[in-house]
Structure formats: structure tokens, C-alpha cells
Amino acid sequence: MKPATHVTATQTWQAALDRLEGAFAPATLRNHRDSFAVFAAWCASRGLAPLPASADQVAAFLADHGITASPPTLKRRLSAIRRLHHLAGLPDPTDDEFVVIALRRAQRANPRRPVQALGLTRARRDRLMAACGSDVIGLRNRALLAVGYDTLCRQSELVALRLEDLEPVPGDRLRVLVRRAKNDPFGMGRTAWISAAAARELRAWLAAAGIARGPLFRVVRHGVVRDRQLGATAVAGVLRKLGQLACLPEPEAARLSGHSLRVGAAQDLMTDGRSLAVIMRAGGWKSQAIVARYTQAADPGIWD
């Protein structure tokens, strides 16, 4: 049985996080909850209270976890510690110079190059589309690939698209409202464009599925389209399965994720010579640094 003091501390920080419900994205709250739980468990193992925590305590935590955790993971855990102390009206221990030094020491001792999702560039996307069957699930997957690539949607944005948000535009294209994004917490939305080719794939799926309103992409079970939106995490599963069917090399298939369409489209825009402003507009980015990271694997063609 856990000590009573630990139970009380756990209840305190979990209740504090409950107050953030509705103000932040579910993924953000989940990250805070998981990250602070790691810190709270570390504190409990040493007979320390997670709230309030001292700067020396946080620095020691970073020293212990810097051996195995990546720098981005450590930063997420620090963010959770900072947030919980602010919510509790307590001094922020992460703002101490010794904590900053401890984080830098951990980053220097354990440098890791971020592993980027494989970019489903135009050529790779077409290989996956060719691997889709002609049945209803194959039609859905072809539309998912085509629309995801054209709109540069994150997986959560892609599955949230609705028929009501589509609008025909000249050239047999479609315009779609992406209602909410990771960097758009208040749902101001952005507009994305779907090419005529992708629109044909989408219309074929919608007709076969009999979708007249609601979510565009839905669960298919035993050939039957369910009245349920496809889950965001299912996108990565679809891409990995298609990667295997398309016989992508194993190192490539292993790096497929729900971000692959977004990464690949950004890389193609860069190699096609589109400006940074156009790429940022197409993907709804607000940071040039993020775009640079997404396109780092694209060949700029400077030595052609």
C-alpha cells in the first residue's frame, strides 16, 4: 500500500490538472499527466513531496533521468512540473539557474538527433495508393492518402474533417476548412485546398460509403462503413499496413507515422521551389524553424 502522504500528494496534483480540462488539447493534458506522474513516482521513491518541489530536487531528477530520457522528454517533464506549481500557487522550481544547468548537462551528456517520420513524398504516396484495394476500405485509404497529402493535415485534423466543411472551387477542386489545429487552440481554423485528382478519390469514397454528412473518414469493419469517425491513431496504422503492401524497404516502413503525409508534402513543396511563406501557409505553420525541421531531409537540388 502506498503511504498516505503519497496518496494525498497524488490526489492534489491530479485535481490541479483536472482544472485545465477544456482549456487545453487532450494530448497536452495527457502529456502533463504522464510527465508529472514520472516525477511524482521518482519523488515517492525518495520520500519527497512532488508539490512543492525544490530546485535541488528537480535538478537531481534531471540528473537521474538524463541518462535514459531524450532532451525533448526532459523538457516535457519540466513543463509539467512548472505547470503544476503554477496551478498550485507555488514558487516555480524550474526557473532556478541550477535546474537550467542540470538540463544543459543532461542534453550535452545524452545528445540525440530527432528521428523524423518518413516523408510520404509524391512518389511514395503513389506507391501506397497503388497498394490500396478496390473495395470500400481501399477507396477510403486512397482518399485518406490523397486528401492528407494535399491538405498537409496532422492526423488528428485529417480525421476531424467533415463533409459540411467542403466547398467546390473552379477546376473540380475543393476547399476545406480545417477547424482546429495543434497550434490553433481556440479553433480559428485554416483553409486548405484539395486538388482535382484528390477530389476524385474523395468523391469515389463518399459515394461508395454513402456519406451525406458528418466525418469524411470512418471506421470500416468487415466491409461495412460504420457511423463512427476514424480515430487519429488509426491513421498511422493504415499507413504502416499500406507501406508493407507496397513493399517499402523495412527501414522506411518502420518510420511511417501519422505525420508522414504532412512531412512528405512539405518536402515536395520545398523541392518544387515553393517559397517558405507558401509552405507555411499550406501547412498552417507559424514557425519557420518547424518548417526547416520538416524539410531537412528534402534534397534542395543545389548541386544538380
Q: What is the pLDDT of residues 179-203, one digit of tens each?
A: 876 655 555 778 999 999 999 999 9
Mention the CATH class of domain 122-294. Answer: mainly alpha
Q: Which residues pair with 178 in a beta bridge?
A: 190
Mean pLDDT score of the chain, rounded to an integer?
88
What is the reported pLDDT for 291? 84
Phi and psi, residue 178, nearest 5°: -90, 105
The cell for 156 is 488528428
Query: Per-residue DSSP letters for the chain?
Result: ---HHHHHHHHHHHHHHHTTBTTB-HHHHHHHHHHHHHHHHHHHHTT--SSS--HHHHHHHHHHHTTTS-HHHHHHHHHHHHHHHHHTT---GGGSHHHHHHHHHHHHHS-----PPPP--HHHHHHHHHTS-SSHHHHHHHHHHHHHHHHT--HHHHHH-BGGGEEEETTTEEEEEE--BTTBTT---EEEEE-HHHHHHHHHHHHHHT--SSBSSEEEETTEEEEEEPPHHHHHHHHHHHHHHTT--HHHHTT--TTHHHHHHHHHHHHTT--HHHHHHHHT---HHHHHHHTTTS---TT-
Q: What is the pLDDT of residues 230-248, one digit of tens each?
A: 998 899 999 999 999 999 9
Q: What is the pLDDT of residues 25-76, one digit of tens each?
A: 777 888 889 999 999 999 999 999 999 999 999 999 999 998 888 888 999 9
Q: How far apart are CA 21 and CA 203, in angstroms?
A: 37
3-state SS record for 185-248: CCCCCEEEEECHHHHHHHHHHHHHHCCCCCECCEEEECCEEEEEECCHHHHHHHHHHHHHHCCC
The cell for 183 is 497550434
CB 242 within 8 A of CB 120: no
Q: How far apart are CA 225 and CA 215, in angstroms?
A: 12
Q: What is the pLDDT of residues 269-284, one digit of tens each?
A: 999 999 999 999 998 8
CATH 1.10.443.10 region(s) of the chain?
122-294
CATH 1.10.150.130 region(s) of the chain?
4-109
What is the reported pLDDT for 295? 82
Could you tell me the fold of the domain covering 4-109? Answer: DNA polymerase; domain 1 (1.10.150)
Work out whether strand 173-178 and strand 224-229 pair parallel, antiparallel, or are unpaired. unpaired
Q: How far apart are CA 45 and CA 19, in angstroms?
A: 27
Look up cell 540525440; give the residue: 112
What is the reported pLDDT for 27? 78
Q: Which residues neighbour 251 within 8 Å (Cβ) at sequence distance 6 or greater?
A: none
